[in-house]
Amino acid sequence: MSSDQHQITTQEITITPEAAKEIQRIRLENQIPESHALRMGIKSGGCCGLSYLLAFDEKPEENDKVFLSEGVTIYVDTESLMHLSGTKLMLIDGPNGKGFKFDNPNDTKSCDCEDGCCD
């Protein structure tokens, strides 16, 4: 499937307005073209749950789903989508600084470690 055949949907992956503003700020600061979309993905995080990936990408890959939330186009590969469905990307600003948080109902962090690696 070519990139112009990807169907854009507004469900499954969402971004808060605050996160969308921060994505735009990062895009401008790093001179990333408006034509590039936000790529979201996951990789296994071992006992600590999922590790999340964020990047900008020029075009979708053949197996990507394309989402639109708060004016931000998002590419997610189908394997990551199995774990990211229903996720909301939020911006948090707290004592440890500002950053993105993935509110993911599928991430069950079942860590039994006693060394605090998942805290």
Residue 117 included in any domain? no
First to last CA, the chain: 41
Residue 114 included in any domain? no
Q: Can you give the residue range of the structural domain that contains 90?
A: 3-103
Query: What confidence tier does 47 reach under pLDDT thresholds 50, 70, 90?
Result: low
Residue 16 included in any domain? yes
Spatial contact of 83 and 42, defined as CB atoms under 8 Å apart: yes
Task: Specify the residue for token string 């394309």.
Answer: 66
56 beta partners: 38
At residue 3, the pLDDT reads 43
Q: Taking the model in full, what pTM does it have? A: 0.79
At residue 38, the pLDDT reads 97
Q: For residue 119, which amino acid is it?
A: D
The bridge status of strand 37-44 relative to strand 72-77 is parallel
* Tokens of residue 74, six digits: 């998002």
| Structural domain total, the chain | 1
Residue 110 included in any domain? no
